[in-house]
Amino acid sequence: MATSSFLRSHRCHDYQALMRRWRSVVKGTGLALQPLFETAGFTVHSITPRRPRPGPALYLAAGVHGDEPAGTLGLLDWAERHPQALAELPLRLLPCLNPWGLIHNTRGDHRGLDLNRRFHLRRDPRIRAWQDFARAEPLALALTLHEDYEAQGIYCYELKAGRELVAPPPLQRAAQVIGPDPRGRIDGHRAGNGLIVRSRGIPRNLPGMPEAIELFQHWRCPTLTFETPSEFSLEERVQAQRRFIEGAVAWFRNRTGP
């Protein structure tokens, strides 16, 4: 898409417009868009196959932080370009977990709480609904899509499950649009070529549980948190997000069969 038409049409903080596009993209794919929970006057939706599809699932989630719009838009862009993947794969999609935050361009929810430090809290009805969703089907791969205003390029935080790293090929694909973050330490972790890897010693002393760690502890599947740099052009960030997802889906298809 040309830059000018992208900028005219992106509406990246318009939750209703985002969900209208999702409703249209799932039509005819055998996927169902369903309410997951209510929050601050908005309905958060999940997207899953109407009929069971064989094999462990691919989990893709965006929009837990409302000021990181390339994640929500990148996931939608991927879906719009890959109808066959939508029709075939055992997907578990969460297009936007924090609509209030998205609309107000803010990290937290309507009470200023960071949802990504609350994924262990069953007493929060939103999290209870999310946990029931996230634990309902075994996962082979999980992706959570984020942005970081301190980033100097793209990077990925991989919670490594098997012997093999999953993130390098998707990172290379995304790096065709935005190069990897050159820093040797990112967010307090050792990094190389935009990749942070953790397989053991998942921190338990965090102020609260992120979505990725909660998923990893439950399923022990490769769990990737992908980050684009918020200060870069939105169009490129969206493209980088979409390419990263394409790379991860290619791994998923190879790993789990057609």
The residues that touch Zn ion, with contacts defined as CB under 5 A, are 65, 68, 146
Question: Whole-angstrom distance between the N-terminal and C-terminal Cα of the chain?
Answer: 30
Nearer to Zn ion, 146 or 237 (CB): 146
The residues, any chain, with a CB within 8 Å of residue 51's CB and separated by 6 or more, are: 30
Nearer to Zn ion, 132 or 150 (CB): 150
What's the min distance (Å) between Cβ of 83 and Zn ion? 28
Nearer to Zn ion, 68 or 214 (CB): 68
What's the min distance (Å) between Cβ of 70 and Zn ion? 11
What's 179's DSSP letter? P
What's the min distance (Å) between Cβ of 227 and Zn ion? 7
Q: Which two tokens stand for residue 20?
A: 């209208």
Nearer to Zn ion, 68 or 236 (CB): 68
The residues, any chain, with a CB within 8 Å of residue 195's CB and separated by 6 or more, are: 155, 156, 158, 165, 167, 168, 171, 180
- CA 72, distance to chain mean position in Å, is 8
Please give the single-letter amino acid code of residue 207: P
What's the min distance (Å) between Cβ of 65 and Zn ion? 4
Cβ contact 156:76 at 8 Å: no
201 burial class (0-12, 13-18, 19+ CB within 10 angstroms)?
exposed
Q: Which two tokens stand for residue 191?
A: 């990094």
Cβ contact 129:69 at 8 Å: no
Nearer to Zn ion, 147 or 236 (CB): 147
What's the min distance (Å) between Cβ of 117 and Zn ion? 11
Nearer to Zn ion, 3 or 105 (CB): 105
What's the min distance (Å) between Cβ of 68 and Zn ion? 5
Q: Which two tokens stand for residue 90?
A: 């055992």
Nearer to Zn ion, 65 or 92 (CB): 65
186 burial class (0-12, 13-18, 19+ CB within 10 angstroms)?
buried
What's the min distance (Å) between Cβ of 61 and Zn ion? 11
Of 109, 61, 51, whose CA–CA distance to 215 is shortest? 61
